[in-house]
Chains A and B, each alone.
Chain A
Amino acid sequence: MRTYLAKRLLLIVPTLFGVAAVVFLIMRVIPGDVTLLILGGDQTGRIDPQQLAAMRHQLGLDQPLAVQFGTWLWGVLRLDFGTSLWTGQPVIDEVLIRLPLSLEVAILATIVSVLLAIPLGMIAAVRQDTWVDYLIRIVSIGGQAIPSFWVGILVILALVIYFGWGPPLEFTPPWVDPWANFQQLVWPVLTVGYRYAAVTTRMTRSTVLEVLREDYIRTAWAKGLRERVVVIRHALKNAMLPVITLVGTEFAFLIGGLVVTETVFTLNGVGRFVVDAVAHRDYPVVQALVFLIALCFVVVNLLIDLTYAWLDPRIRYH
């Protein structure tokens, strides 16, 4: 197990290096120049080529690509992700402003989705082909088909039109004002949670159905065990492996992937920050964020694999 863990941890290094290199190259290949954007402003701009050259030099963009990449990588090794080309602020400071919000939404939405999905998926499986199953399937297919940002817009419009009330426009951390925090996050958490609950419900239903057909379940029924014991203790635990994979990757995705939901609910999260940084060609910010999101995925995947072994004693890593 230790050897396996060490191998996996070591593999993180080339994975992240690959991600960093690919993102670095992509950002340089796509059209658009951060210096022109900075000098040009919004709709007007009178740019002197000397100013342009001076700005490129100031930002270090006149260096060869390999030197730029090496400099950035050396910074990362020292946990220095550089400064934003657009704001001049340290990238890590900008990320830390947004990370608590994104983590809170990701954690709460994951909790909501798990709390909804596992019971519903299990009920749908146990009551297969009854009206309960059909209802749960309709709700879950609806959740997959309807984008959560669209649900979000509808929720906001309904609140505003029918109640003259809208969610707060500014993030307040829960330790500062839990009530304000709740008022702002309850709607995005529910809409995103519903979306991911829909996916997880279907996965839970399928895997529980599969497990319920196993011989050892038939044996359990034959032994006269109660339904609760058969389903929860014997079937559910074994059905959880693919569900955990799904929930884990969803969680990692939620940290940086809620761009439109963040926009709709005016959440100043990591997702919007990534898109904003790409639009502004803010290379250090994009590189740092993609790097950190990739790190999240790698770590979550490792944790999922370790959870497998904990859930299923038959699985042993060498």
Chain B
Amino acid sequence: MTAPIRHRPLFVSLVALTLLLGSFAATGRGVATAADTPRRGGVLLAVIGADPPSLDPHQESTFANIELVAPLYSTLLQLDPYDYPKIIGDLATEWKISSDGLTYTFKIHPGVKFHDGSPLTSADVKASYNKIIFPPQGVRSVRQNAYTAVAQVEAPDPATVVFKLKFPSASLLANLASPWNVIFPKSYLDRDPNYFKTHAIGSGPFKFKGYTRGSTFEGERNPAYFVKDRPYLDGYKFYISPETSVRAAAIRSGRAYIEFRDLPSAEVEAIKKQLGDKITVQETAMTGQWGIAINNTKKPFDDVRVRKALSLGIDRYTMARVLYPLTGLRYVGGLMRPGSEWALPAPELEKLPGFGRDIEKNRAEARKLLAEAGYPNGLKVVLKNRNVKLPYQDFAVFLIGEWRKIGIEAEHRPLETAAWFSDGQDTGNFELLVAPTVEFMDDPDQFLGRYATGSTQNWGRFSDPQVDDLFSRQARSLDPVERKRLINDLEKRVLGNAYFTTGLWWSRNLVHWSKVKNYVAPPNHYTNQKLQDVWLSED
């Protein structure tokens, strides 16, 4: 009676095992062989951690948008894929800046066509930038404030675009090289300025092929691409998975060849150990830092002594050693990326509260300041955070341990992204909040605008006319030496008063199969995503 019953699970297992072994044989992958001559063909398989909120890069600011759609579009200028942060043309073949710095004239590459076959002219560039700088009602433009200097955009003839400025802008060229400012066909924008939230028609090296939310995003080679003999790939395909270990496993198994954003060092080491030279890891700095927004409107954080104590209590140098292997948070720095041309020199940085290397001295001063502010026995605070493990929560856990050493007991309160955003940006319902800053390049306007009075990114809600003045002057300063001095002064003012305090600057492990050729990782995951020069040495 019982024999058939006992045997059934064994039979099922044997069938599964046989099919599994068959599936291994069917998908086995060979070792990549290096070749110097670019090879045509193949589909680049990548993994990504999230879906895009929409497909329109003008309206988004997440890697989940730009990594997917950048290969579909052209921009006026771009950052050199091989030489960050050099600015080179994309659609623009040449450009001139008038002597007063108020007129920028660009010539457009002739013969460029959109994927629907229509020609790309200066009218399309003008329409796209008008959408970014002067968005119509009901259309959002998250980078609108980066173009406050622009009075108008003109298209005097089909091959010329002119930007007229109200005042000189030191960052305009950099902002015109933004990967987010893709050029859309005017005819579609005229019909519906939100059309590209759900559609993608560009003039980039790849054409949109398909998107299944939560699953895949695909592009195929654009045979009419205006750059001769590009792209090399037949197409690209992103697999979408929010789970880091799943993305790492996809790379390990060869189901995907590249993760453009970042993988934790522990995963990277495991992948390298298993796959050896089949895998390449490009370690770069990152144009992003994790800091702490201090709500300057709430007691006791309206007291500079308390704010300074918070910064003095953090041993950033030890934090960098501890957190780097876990999170990629690696470099101690001010408001501009350490190592970039605008960064505050280390000797000056170390004079600011919390950045000196003698941590015991810093802690003693922190306790003294707290006592002077009326908290000789320390105080209790709430540190709100985003409920994302890497690097948010590890970062917060370290901070809490540090603050305890100076008598500050911080309660960690991780929030869902929506609530975290709402508290930080909208309501100001927080005392301390983990607040990252990630931009597409080391541009001072992008990094420092958030410290100006009334900026929606000024989550700490402070107002210092001196900071506002320094920001405004640096944005208009066309002399790099003078601009750097103003920027460094602004940094000293913000960090010296601990209106906001930085934690650590991020670094990036770009992991890919060695058969993915000709991809140079820039210090962020927003730029160099067009993939026009990337090729595969084998499928």
Contacts and interface: CB of A to CB of B under 8 A. Distances in A.
Contacts of A170: 215-216, 239
Contact of B250 (A34, A37, A166, A228): A166
A62 to B, nearest CB: 13
Given A41-B62, A164-B253, A123 B245 contact: no
Interface stretch (B112-120, B330-338, B434-442, B474-482): B434-442
Interface stretch (A45-53, A209-217, A306-314): A45-53
Given A156-B249, A266-B246, A42 B61 contact: yes
Contacts of B140: 38-39, 51, 55
B252 A43 contact: no
B252 A160 contact: yes
A264 B246 CA distance: 6
Interface stretch (A4-12, A84-92, A286-294, A297-305): A84-92
B61 A43 contact: yes
A54 B139 CA distance: 9
B274 interface: yes
Interface stretch (B19-27, B222-230, B463-471): B19-27
Interface string B205-223: 0000000111110000000
B399 to A, nearest CB: 19
A165 B418 contact: no
Nearest to B288: A43
Question: At the interface, is chain B mostly helix, strand, loop or mixed?
Answer: mixed
Interface residues of B, number: 75
A31 B253 contact: no
Given A169-B47, A276-B51, A94 B142 contact: no
A279 B27 contact: no
Contacts of A182: 19
Interface string B13-35: 00010011001100111000000
Interface string A277-289: 0011100000000
Given A47-B456, A88-B197, A165 B27 contact: yes
Interface in B133-173: 135, 137-138, 140, 142-145
5 contacts: A32-B417, A47-B425, A88-B194, A119-B5, A164-B254
Interface string A97-112: 1100000000000000
A41 B16 contact: no
B523 to A, nearest CB: 16
B2 interface: yes
Given A164-B253, A281-B418, 13 more contacts: A31-B423, A41-B61, A45-B61, A46-B143, A46-B145, A55-B140, A88-B194, A153-B245, A167-B255, A169-B241, A169-B255, A169-B256, A179-B23
Give 5 nearest A-B pairs by CB, closest first. Answer: A32-B418, A166-B253, A42-B62, A41-B61, A228-B1
Interface of B: 1-2, 5-6, 8-9, 12, 16, 19-20, 23-24, 27-29, 47, 51, 53-54, 59-64, 135, 137-138, 140, 142-145, 194, 197-198, 212-216, 239-243, 245-246, 249-250, 252-256, 274, 288, 415-419, 421-423, 425-426, 436-439, 449, 455-457
Contacts of A34: 418
Contacts of B29: 164
Nearest to B141: A51
Contacts of A51: 135, 140
A276 B214 CA distance: 9
A157 B249 contact: yes
A94 B417 CA distance: 22
Given A41-B60, A55-B138, A279 B418 contact: yes
Contact of A41 (B142, B253, B418, B423): B142
Contact of A54 (B28, B137, B249, B422): B137
A46 B456 contact: yes
A115 interface: yes
A94 B51 CA distance: 14
A263 interface: yes
Contacts of B439: 44
A268 interface: yes
Nearest to B2: A123
A147 B508 CA distance: 32
Nearest to A32: B418
B142 A45 contact: yes
A164 B274 CA distance: 9
B292 to A, nearest CB: 15
Interface in A138-174: 153, 156-157, 159-161, 163-171
A76 interface: no
A116 interface: yes
Given A40-B425, A122-B5, A157-B249, A268 B214 contact: yes
B191 to A, nearest CB: 15
Contact of A37 (B27, B135, B249, B421): B421
A268 B51 CA distance: 12
A206 to B, nearest CB: 18
A179 B23 CA distance: 9
A190 B12 CA distance: 10
Nearest to B436: A43
Given A37-B418, A160-B252, A87 B213 contact: yes
Interface residues of A, number: 71
A45 B241 contact: no
Contacts of A171: 215
A34 B417 CA distance: 11
A119 B3 CA distance: 11
A55 B60 CA distance: 15
A186 B19 contact: yes
A128 interface: no
A17 B144 CA distance: 44
A276 B418 CA distance: 11
Which of A228, A266, A281: most chain B CB closer than 10 A? A266
A231 interface: yes
Which of A45, A54, A55: most chain B CB closer than 10 A? A45
A59 to B, nearest CB: 10
A272 interface: yes
Nearest to A171: B215
Given A46-B455, A46-B456, A168 B255 contact: yes
Contacts of A265: 246
B438 A227 contact: no
Given A31-B418, A32-B416, A46-B145, A87 B246 contact: no
A226 to B, nearest CB: 7
Contact of B9 (A55, A58, A87, A116): A116
A226 B62 CA distance: 68
B253 A159 contact: yes
B241 A266 contact: yes
B63 A42 contact: yes
Nearest to A39: B140
A279 B19 contact: no
Contact of B1 (A159, A166, A227): A227
Contacts of B64: 42
Nearest to B242: A263
Contact of A44 (B53, B142, B198): B142
B418 A186 contact: no
A197 B64 CA distance: 38
Contacts of A264: 243, 246
Interface string A237-276: 0000000000000000000000000011110100011001
Nearest to A84: B213
